[in-house]
Amino acid sequence: MKLREYFKKRKLNRFKKKYKVGLCLSGGGTRGFAHLGAFKAFEECGIEFDAVAGASAGSLFGALYATEMKYEQMYKLSKNVKNSDFRKSKLGFLPSKMDNLQTLIKSIMPVKKIEELKIPFYAVAVDLKTGNEIHFNKGDIASVVSGSCAIPGVFYPVKYRNMTLIDGGVRNNIPADVLKMNGCDFVITVDCNCTRGGGTNSDSFFTQFTTSIGIMSVNNSKRGIECSDIVICPDMKKFASLKVQGKDEMIEAGYQATMTMMPEIKKLFLGEFKRK
């Protein structure tokens, strides 16, 4: 039974939802499958959110969550996802076009426009022409989300309207502030890349490049952590950020990390949470 239904049934006056709670989903490439595990935990415990924001992979999973699709259906869709759905180019030193990802998004989304989603949703991307951080709450889902996921040097930018979109994580990898700016009183963040900033012993150019991107995202991630009231941090360091191998383990890691934080999350929804 959902928490809101529980309190409504028992007519307990102490639970009067006077605030909005937002869900923030970080970037992290294919490590974003951990977000599905978090969704599973939220669904089991009856936790619902008033708004969702995501950058990079977080925008993809956030848009999916905003459809109010059940976890089981999301999981079934994830079973068919392949590496080629994310990265088309087979040459490690060449960027990949986003055609395959856009096709995937169109195939799994029940709606085409962000404004048609059931939960208010904000996708964060960066316009390469101006350098500005863009917060999309309307527009074509496939174009906006693929633009938000377009890691520089790994993927080609996405042309959308008069913009050239690249990965939102370049400016704001944990967009908790976007939710606060749009009326959320509290934000719960799922950070599927909390080990960002760590180095690598690999001599692979591609691995060195993606590791460098992670190091550069450390500072803008700190801002997001500071704007979050609760942060869920699944341990994803053993998973590659651009390969889908280990999806089930990633999902389980997200689930377990969320369940670990569930006592604090429930306190927030019960009105008993105190900011540190």
Catalytic member of 50, 127, 140, 167: 167
Return the number of other C-beta atoms located less than 10 Å from residue 243's C-beta: 14
Catalytic member of 26, 50, 56, 229: 56
- Per-residue model confidence as pLDDT tens digits over 54-90: 999 999 999 999 999 999 999 999 988 877 777 665 5
CA distance 155 to 149: 8
- The candidate with the shortest Cα–Cα distance to 167, out of 208, 213, 199, 205, is 213
Q: Is 248 a catalytic residue?
A: no
182-to-122, 185, 187, 257 alpha-carbon distances in Å: 9, 9, 11, 27
What pLDDT does 7 receive?
46
Do 35 and 61 touch, CB atoms closer than 8 A?
yes
Supply the pTM of this predicted model: 0.87
CA distance 9 to 216: 49
CA distance 246 to 131: 35
Classify residue 157 as left (phi > 0), alpha (psi -120 to 50) or beta.
Answer: beta
Return the number of other C-beta atoms located less than 10 Å from residue 229's C-beta: 21
- Per-residue model confidence as pLDDT tens digits over 108-141: 999 999 999 999 999 999 999 999 999 999 999 9
Burial class (CB in 10 A: 0-12, 13-18, 19+), 185: middle
Q: Is 56 a catalytic residue?
A: yes
